Structure 1
């Protein structure tokens, strides 16, 4: 074999080796890209009447997912308070190939079959804010029993000596929302024996209009002079209740929850006494982190799921429960403003300027 031929063979071999390395690198790059592309997450929120979901939860969750997995596919759905619609949306998410569902259930019981369907398909489910029934893989929310306790204690403090001089009316929220039952239980654990409950209502779909009608009916039935306070499980209900109270010429302590902007403004002018803030960003960030980890096949760390909750009677679900905060006129600046929910300018529109000045919000 001539030197020229040997050289040609050596060069051909080197070229083949070089091409092989390039091909291997390209293959590895492609595999990495494919794995990143496998981060496909369906985000299913329950409704838009409560302002938090579109204003806070959705953008925070999507932002955190993209931070952790820039090429992630996020499919968003809002069920507009319809359990049937949400079941159909789960089917759509599964058909699209989503690997993980972040699910805030409209109806925790009726969604169980959809959760089971996802589980059977190998799709992970992160229950967000409300604990859906079925084989959920992880859950993040606030300590809902504690929310009710805080509401009960703050309402008692606002009632003071008037606690036993009349009756209170309770509006507990939607019977299909498991959180509502926990708020109610927490509130009763504080209020029972210390106040007399004149009327108590569940309010389907957390509908402010229904709450308004219920409160108007309670005033007619009990008499406006008998009512010394109102327990409202959230700020949406409180909006309807406050309207009914104002129409009847009643100004009594009124609770709330979710730290909605209109609730903060009612607190400033004295038509609502307090709300309970559940900072949305920490909850959203945790849900997003859970979802990305599960989509990437990782085990959830004890930092993400430091505790468990019980579902379906005896099913243990890995969970993280965060701590809520009572917001009243005295700490608005140190809570919702400091936490970035609202700016002073957003709160203190011309209608509320004088009340803001009185509260030190300038």
Structure 2
């Protein structure tokens, strides 16, 4: 502010003199490390040794606690050996996740890794973290905030394309004449991934819908990826179409399991092409029994390793460009392009279980062969 009137000049000199004296004292104090605390580091996450990891739930998929939790906690400690990891799971509640994040921040977490329950609601977590100069990495699911620091996930639109591609390549094995009815049971609409899966699947399947090779009779998003609700949705679709359904696009293995339960009630399991995702033990078992056609294998170690690399780089103050390689993902509800790391997924069906999930140790032979019904064609896996 400029002082334009002469009668304020004396006061201005006093203020200026006071500022000079204050700066001089500060400079002397900074030099005397025994008596004065130096100015706090203003680079978000620099020298951070306490990392909050917040995952969304355990009900819709076994992956979160059995795969992501150990991969993240162990991976961060491996890349940043003196780090402390604070782990929380919100069990499907956005409110709980907000409370957990606030608690982590209050306990000194200086980097947060968040797989959001709700992409919109979790923007509040990013805002709270920014107020404390804490960077946030959105893990697996995007958070709708322009203040987000990084996003690590898979090419999720590509995942949907893989699911749609499998249907496009195999639907003729299930369609008989004009009986070509297709049901789409998508994930939770508050999860950006679910929107991307649906978009990718539609890009592949729309030409088949347009030329009437497939007839889309039912499509819905399933709140919170609720497995029980997916079964109810499938039962409704069967009732509305007099059990005349040949294709069931299902977004993940958890919901696929309950969709299969609905089909079994009408002796339709194995007669309907059912998709999935996550390559869970139950999903692989359903593939071996013939009740599920495919799943999508996302090697979580790639996702967690990239996240751990980012955490370590942020803490050490090193450049992250070699990790993100210039890739960005635009916040669809904002304006910012978020620096991102996106891994690629692969289709798994009965033909390549050995060469993918078993080879990588993602699932074990003992787990997938346990309690399989007698007579299951396991392609030599369980022999």
Q: Same fold (TM over 0.5)?
A: yes
The question of whether the paired residues in 1 share the 8 Å contact of 2:310 and 2:323 is answered with no
The question of whether the paired residues in 2 share the 8 Å contact of 1:115 and 1:125 is answered with yes
**Residue number in structure 2 paired with 1:170:** 184
Paired with 2:122 and 2:106, the residues of 1 have a C-alpha distance of: 17
1:132-164 CA-partner distances (Å, limit 9, x unpaired): 111111111100000000000101222126286
Post-superposition shift, 1:354?
4.1
Paired with 2:339 and 2:72, the residues of 1 have a C-alpha distance of: 19
Structure 1 residue 90 corresponds to structure 2 residue 101: yes
Which deviates further from its counterpart, 298-307 or 242-251?
A: 298-307
Give the counterpart of 1:80 among 77, 86, 91. Answer: 91
Structure 1 residue 272 corresponds to structure 2 residue 292: yes
**Residue number in structure 1 paired with 2:38:** none
Give the counterpart of 1:119 among 110, 121, 130. Answer: 130
1:284-325 CA-partner distances (Å, limit 9, x unpaired): 111111112212333313234440000133211111111110
The question of whether the paired residues in 2 share the 8 Å contact of 1:265 and 1:352 is answered with no
Paired with 1:324 and 1:198, the residues of 2 have a C-alpha distance of: 28
**Residue number in structure 2 paired with 1:317:** 338
Post-superposition shift, 1:359?
4.7
**Residue number in structure 1 paired with 2:312:** 292
Structure 1 residues 1-362: aligned runs within 5 Å: 38-49=48-59, 50-134=61-145, 135-160=147-172, 162=175, 165-194=179-208, 195-224=214-243, 226-250=244-268, 251-311=271-331, 312-352=333-373, 354-355=375-376, 357-362=378-383
The question of whether the paired residues in 2 share the 8 Å contact of 1:233 and 1:255 is answered with yes
Paired with 1:243 and 1:340, the residues of 2 have a C-alpha distance of: 28
What is the total number of aligned residue pairs between the two structures? 328
Paired with 2:68 and 2:240, the residues of 1 have a C-alpha distance of: 39
Give the SS at the match of 2:283. helix
Give the SS at the match of 2:86. strand
Coordinate RMSD, CA, aligned: 1.9
Paired with 1:38 and 1:336, the residues of 2 have a C-alpha distance of: 35
The question of whether the paired residues in 2 share the 8 Å contact of 1:208 and 1:240 is answered with yes
The question of whether the paired residues in 2 share the 8 Å contact of 1:36 and 1:69 is answered with no
Paired with 2:121 and 2:297, the residues of 1 have a C-alpha distance of: 28
Paired with 1:357 and 1:193, the residues of 2 have a C-alpha distance of: 34
Task: Name stretches of at least 5 consecutive residues in structure 1 with no aligned partner.
Answer: 1-23, 25-34
- Structure with greater proportional helix content: 1
